[in-house]
Amino acid sequence: MTDLTRLPASDLREQIAARKISPVELTDAVLARAEKLQPVLNCFVTLVPDQARAAAKAAESAIMQGKPLGLLHGIPFAAKDLVNTAGVRTTFGSLLYENNVPKEDAVCAARVKAAGGILFGKTTTPEFGHKSLTDGPLFGRTRNAWSANHTSGGSSGGAAVAVAAGIGPIGIATDGGGSTRIPAAINGMVGLKQSNGVIPHSQVADAFGNYTYVTPMTRTVMDTALMLQAMAGPHPSDPWSIGIEPPDYLAAARAEGDLKGRRILYSATLGNTMVAKDVRAAFEQSLVRLRELGAELVELTEELPDLSSAWKVINHTTWKARFDEMIKRDGNRMTPSLVRQVAEAADWSGADYQRAMFQRSELFRMVQGWFETADFLVTPTVSRTALPIDQDLFDPITIDGVEAGELRRNWFPYTMPFNITGHPALSICNGYDSEGLPIALQIVGRFRDESSVLRAAALYEASESWLDRWPDL
């Protein structure tokens, strides 16, 4: 069972198709590992073993009958509990939706199932995905896969921890300001936030002004490509997706060739004030690797404007529109940090929102300017490794023992800008700190050029041996 739960989806799909691994055997192994580790990690809100075993038997029957197999045939997957799953409880991490059971799948979940994926559970999220720490009144705290004393990150904390612990090789996550890349980074996983529209987002309330993304969560770059291939493509529910036909992401994710002729901008800070010594050292070593792969590296001297205020106006007014009436009725049953952030939007006007959207356009054009002469931008994913398990969203964080300021502005200034601009950004492990906690590199690419980002990440992944490490559970 241990061997099965340590295999990537890319290997599993080949062995399943060759009848060397049974989908039933694999699903049983994943469910057994989930049952064993859930009391320790607390990364699931709901598990559906009976449904998963029935789907696994159907998948095995299809193989034995010689039927055509999808990209993810027989592969167990979990979906973040913000993602609608037909007939399976979807709580949004909220006591108010504790017994909510959607009638339909979100497009992303429907496509993973259509590709043969087997849903076995729903992973934890802070209430409505509102912060970068995964805890809430419905389920408590989710622990980091590498340390019970540290946060899993968020808001896709459960998705990252489950994959990191070998509880299923892949998961569906979401990213509204770094919610995939942050937990991927601090749990040693691969987290991609693709460009706007590449994977349709059928649940987002404001489809036109969208800055949130439904994403893959995996251990390897090839598994990210597999999930992207399965979920990508136009859908009528998402105007950004219309007319966007997916290329061959699997071919793009092969570690073939090199980075000769590619120009990479790099920034260790991206305007941030403090970066942990271990994070900076790992970043500098990553630059060495990228040079060895043939890339030309140029330091980015232009600083991003501080967009935290604009992001807050866009994000918190969206939340006010969605949750204000809910808070008036049931705020005493909701997470205080969500209630407090919605309250921050009380004095912002429609003009304030529109000015923030103007800033969004300015930032997009600035980043587009960078990519006129460069192929990629690389940064750390977060300024330090996992925060303590009891970190509060509104308390300052420390970096190397020194107070660095408020969490959002100082821990993940690298991720949020690319939710606003829509450019693809991928987080990949690039080392471990002195405590053995994962560190990560972020690779940002040209708008809708996920293929190049996948290739660069695959080449980097192959140049290192970080995948050999597993958390001691």
Active site residues: 80, 155, 179
3-state secondary structure the chain: CHHHHCCCHHHHHHHHHCCCCCHHHHHHHHHHHHHHHHHHHCCEEEECHHHHHHHHHHHHHHHHCCCCCCCCCCCEEEEECCCCECCECCCCCCHHHCCCCCCCCCHHHHHHHHCCCEEEEEECCCHHHCCCCCEECCCEECECCCCCCEECCCCCHHHHHHHHCCCCCEEEEEECCCCCHHHHHHCCCEEEECCCCCCCCCCCCCCCCCCCEEEEEECCHHHHHHHHHHHCCCCCCCHHHCCCCCCCHHHHCCCCCCCCCCEEEECCCCCCCCCCHHHHHHHHHHHHHHHHCCCEEEECCCCCCCCHHHHHHHHHHHHHHHHHHHHHHHHHHCCHHHHHHHHHCCCCCHHHHHHHHHHHHHHHHHHHHHCCCCCEEEEECCCCCCCECCCCCCCEEEECCEEEEEHHHHHCCCCHHHHHHCCCEEEEEEEECCCCCEEEEEEEECCCCHHHHHHHHHHHHHHCCHHHCCCCC
Q: Residue type at 294?
A: G
Can you tell me the distance from the alpha carbon of 439 to that of 130, in angstroms, rounded to the nearest whole number? 23
Q: Are 290 and 259 in contact (CB under 8 A)?
A: yes
Can you tell me the distance from the alpha carbon of 23 to that of 438, in angstroms, rounded to the nearest whole number? 31
